[in-house]
Amino acid sequence: MRVEVVAVGTELLLGQIVDSNSSWIGEQLALAGLDSYFQTKVGDNLGRIVEVIELALARSDAVICTGGLGPTQDDLTREAIAAVMGVSLEESEEAAERIISMFAGRGRGMPMNNLRQAMKPVGAEFIAEQPGTAPGLICPLSRPDPLTGEPRSKVIYAVPGVPWEMQEMVSGTVLADLQRRAGLTSVIASRTLRTWGESESRLAELLAERMDDLDRRAALGEAAATIAFLASGVEGLKVRLTAKASSEAEAAAVLAAEEEAVRAILGPTVFGVDDDTMESAVLDLLRRRGMTLGVGESLTGGMVGSRICDVPGASDVFRGSVVSYASEVKFDLLGVSEGPVVSEEAAREMALGARRVLRADVGIAATGVAGPDRQEGHRPGTVFLAVAIGSAGSAGVGDADLVDSVALTLPGRRRQIREYSVISLLALLRRHLLPAT
């Protein structure tokens, strides 16, 4: 079955919003074993939306439209699908009551134009999941086969443009419905290993022999995973493992075995799985050791602390962050020696100061030049990172058992340099927290 994605919204064409929905849907289709050869963006114009959907139906078996299901006059996806189906729109009393109830539950009055969202093409049905006020749609129809002229069943899905609403509907209903229509009985599962510290080419080199072995096994009809790489910028490199099997249990077993094999090759380069982040990995290591963390930040300006606080449960490990952007704050609060503050020694003193001031077992720090101008003779991208690790329960009292620092030259512009500094600092700490091998 071929599935096409149509993203609706003039803001997508103008670049005001990045079309992440199509990318996410494309990934999910691939993981579900469904072919997708085309993705299209179209503005909020009824004629052009109809034209794009008709073109998609001519070359694909199913179309997923994302966006254009809101309550305003420029939300035209419902009308366009009805035109393609050759039917009128009808109001669903049940959908209208659900939307009214949503507004009432929030203690807000409902503008009457929200009832436009209760309209659906005749013959369509609503998607069961409805996290927001916009219901999704399943719209079956038929088109003549180009070779035989016989009617051929096709389907259009409409999901909201709000990413989390779209994802709930696609994951909950659309993918399963597509697999049922395609007659797919096999299970496709994936697992993503998160890595940091090696280039994509180096990972491919390290895993080349393993990938060749997997190809040989697959050619013999054996159950074998596939390996793919995805560069994710400041989030590191992802190694995606995918397995196709007759059952979920079999697919899970294949993935577990492959993860073990890949980890044996890549070692500590792998810091997490699927939704893990470097900060969640570091917090887990600290938690296992019963240690607390304090941060001293200069060029990162609070980004380290912010990322750590994004992790649920961080409060049982994270003591806080001192954003010592001005040199005087480094001197007066963190105890950095008077003099240059863009240096490895300054980073080490910041880490020690953060550990002491925040009464943490571990202190980490970042200083450097984010740009665009040079500072203290250093060009943008010059970064110094440090860690100061004491014993569990030391609460910043006494000397640190270990103090380490590194000097890096990071690529990119100001924002990228700061983001790379964050994950590089956390990776440095993780390296020292890992058990010795």
pLDDT in tens, 8-53: 999 999 999 999 999 999 999 988 889 999 999 999 999 999 999 9
Q: Residues of CATH 3.90.950.20 domain(s) within the chain?
A: 278-433
Architecture of domain 3-182: 3-Layer(aba) Sandwich (3.40)
Q: How far is CA 199 from the centre of its chain?
A: 20
Q: What is the average per-residue pLDDT within 323-343? A: 96
**For residue 399, is pLDDT > 90?**
no
Q: What is the pLDDT of residues 59-93, one digit of tens each?
A: 999 999 999 999 999 999 999 999 999 999 999 99
Burial 141-180 (b: 16+ CB within 10 A, else e): beeeeeeeeeeeebbbbbbbbbeebbbbbbeebbbeebbe
Q: Residues of CATH 3.30.70.2860 domain(s) within the chain?
A: 187-273
Amino acid code (one letter) for 391: S
Percent of the chain with pLDDT over 70: 100
C-alpha distances (whole Å) from 142 to each of 26, 121, 173, 292 are 24, 15, 21, 62
Give the three-class secondary structure for 139: strand
**For residue 111, is pLDDT > 90?**
no
User: Can you tell me the distance from the alpha carbon of 256 to that of 204, in angstroms, rounded to the nearest whole number?
Assistant: 20
Q: What is the pLDDT of residues 244-269, one digit of tens each?
A: 898 889 999 999 999 999 999 999 99
Amino acid code (one letter) for 283: L
In the prediction, which pLDDT does 5 show? 98
Q: What is the average per-residue pLDDT within 153-170? A: 96
Percent of the chain with pLDDT over 90: 83
**Whether domain 278-433 has CATH 3.40.190.10:** no
**For residue 390, is pLDDT > 70?**
yes
Supply the pTM of this predicted model.
Answer: 0.80
- 321-330, 377-386, 391-400, 417-426: lowest mean pLDDT where? 391-400
In the prediction, which pLDDT does 145 show? 85
Q: What is the average per-residue pLDDT within 99-125? A: 88
DSSP secondary structure letters along 162-222: SHHHHHHHIIIIIHHHHHHHHT--SEEEEEEEEE-SS-HHHHHHHHHHHHHHHHHHHHTT-
Strands 187-195 and 237-245: antiparallel
- Which regions of 281-324 does DSSP assign to beta strands (E)? 293-297, 318-323
In the prediction, which pLDDT does 102 show? 87
In the prediction, which pLDDT does 222 show? 87
Amino acid code (one letter) for 81: I
| In 267-302, alpha helices (H) | 278-289
Q: What is the pLDDT of residues 164-221, one digit of tens each?
A: 999 999 999 999 999 999 998 888 889 999 999 999 999 999 999 999 999 999 898 8
Torsions phi, psi of 241, nearest 5? -105, 130
Kindly report the average pLDDT of the chain as a whole number.
Answer: 94
Give the three-class secondary structure for 100: helix
Architecture of domain 187-273: 2-Layer Sandwich (3.30)
What confidence tier does 437 reach under pLDDT thresholds 50, 70, 90? low
